[in-house]
Amino acid sequence: MNTNEKFDIDKPLWDQSTYIGRLKHFAFITDYRMIFVNDQKLKEAKQFCDNYKRGFVPSGVQLSHVIRAKQLRDGAFDSETGELIHRFSRLSFQLPTSVMLTASMLAFQKNFPAIMAFQILHQMHNAIINDIYRSTRNNDDTKMKNALLCAVITGSIVTFCCKKILSGKALIFNRCLPFCAVATGHMINLPLMRYKEITTGIPIYMKDETHSFMKSKVAATKGICECLISRIAMSIPCLLFIPIITHKFMPYCLHQHRPRILIPFEACLCAIGCMIAIPSAFAIFPERNSMNPNLMKLRPSEYEEFKKCVKEYIDKE
């Protein structure tokens, strides 16, 4: 980046058409150190970015200052409404929350009531994240709370069913109970919390355009499926790989004589796994992804509307 030239502060610093570019971008905006920045500094960073867009840049400001202000704004403020997101709901808080919940699930995996409690906390946290970062805003708090309650209860029931299914299996399968619970919880949580996108559709755009020309329910379903894949992929390193690693290697270490050493060992692995998994999973799909128009044939009326809108767009050109 040329330090003598201005750049578009609203766009990511890295190429979002490549996985590495998206990985760097999400590592940039999910930096857990931002949770220690107070609200006043965050608002100052947002004001600085607004002034930068209008061309009001104080003399002596270095590029590193601009990038830092952009990081704070992108990580703490809603990109659509510009509102400050609650500290515990920001992407930067994803790392400490994930480490605490996953490490607790692994530590108390033999205690089913504890697994249920942590699963409920996990689903509540994910439901809040899904509600904040979805494409279509829902101002009906009652419906949101009902969807949250339904997601949590259903996820708990699925966790109980997973326990019953895995109870007679080998130990390695029982150690994978937290992953099964979280993965199935995501499958329930995401559609419920983002039901409005499925029922009303999300805006779709022509390539390189900023104004949408129609809403698509198929695109909403595709987007939720991609989000679901990312969320499950995010859980794999900590809730699937770590139990397998500990199951294979701990009998040859100090586990037999000092079983409590397993808890800090798994907590350290969870911290490392989450630091890698969170930006890696977010980067699997672009935030603004392309879609094959033929998918709209799944809903013939939507496909006909799409052809009509494209024809009008071409005629304007």
Q: Phi and psi of 146, rounded to 5°?
A: -65, -40
Distance CA 222, CA 64 (A): 37
Nearest Cα to Cα of residue 153 among 175, 123, 190, 113: 123
| 259 confidence band (pLDDT: 50, 70, 90) | low
Position of tokens 């947002």? 46
Element of type H or E holding 66: helix 63-76
Choice among 31-40, 230-239, 249-258, 286-295 with the minimum mean pLDDT: 249-258
- Residues 164-201 pLDDT 10s: 776 766 666 777 777 887 888 788 778 877 788 888 88
pLDDT in tens, 196-235: 888 888 888 877 677 777 888 888 888 889 888 998 999 8
Binning pLDDT at 50, 70 and 90, where does residue 250 land?
low
- Say which residues have a Cβ less than 8 Å from residue 114's Cβ, sequence separation at least 6: 104, 108
pLDDT tens digits for range 302-316: 888 888 887 776 666
Are 228 and 187 contacting, i.e. CB atoms less than 8 angstroms apart? yes
- Is beta strand 214-216 parallel, antiparallel or unpaired with respect to 202-204? antiparallel
Q: In the numeric block, which tokens belong to residue 291?
A: 């879609």
Evaluate if residue 81 carries a pLDDT over 80. Answer: no
Could you tell me the pTM of the whole model?
0.81
* Three-state SS annotation for the chain: CCCCCCCCCCCCCCCCCCHHHHHHHHHHHCCHHHHHCCHHHHHHHHHHHHHHHCCCCCCCCCHHHHHHHHHHHHHHECCCCCCECCHHHCHHHHHHHHHHHHHHHHHCCCCHHHHHHHHHHHHHHHHHHHHHCCCCCCCCHHHHHHHHHHHHHHHHHHHHHHHHHHCCCCHHHHCCHHHHHHHHHHHHHHHHHCHHHHHHCEEECCCCCCCCCEEEHHHHHHHHHHHHHHHHHHHHHHHHHHHHHHHHHHHHCCCCCCHHHHHHHHHHHHHHHHHHHHHHHHCCCCCCCCCCHHHHHHCHHHHHHHHHHHHHHHHHC
pLDDT of residue 1 exceeding 50, the answer is no
pLDDT at 149 over 80: no
| Amino acid at residue number 287 | E
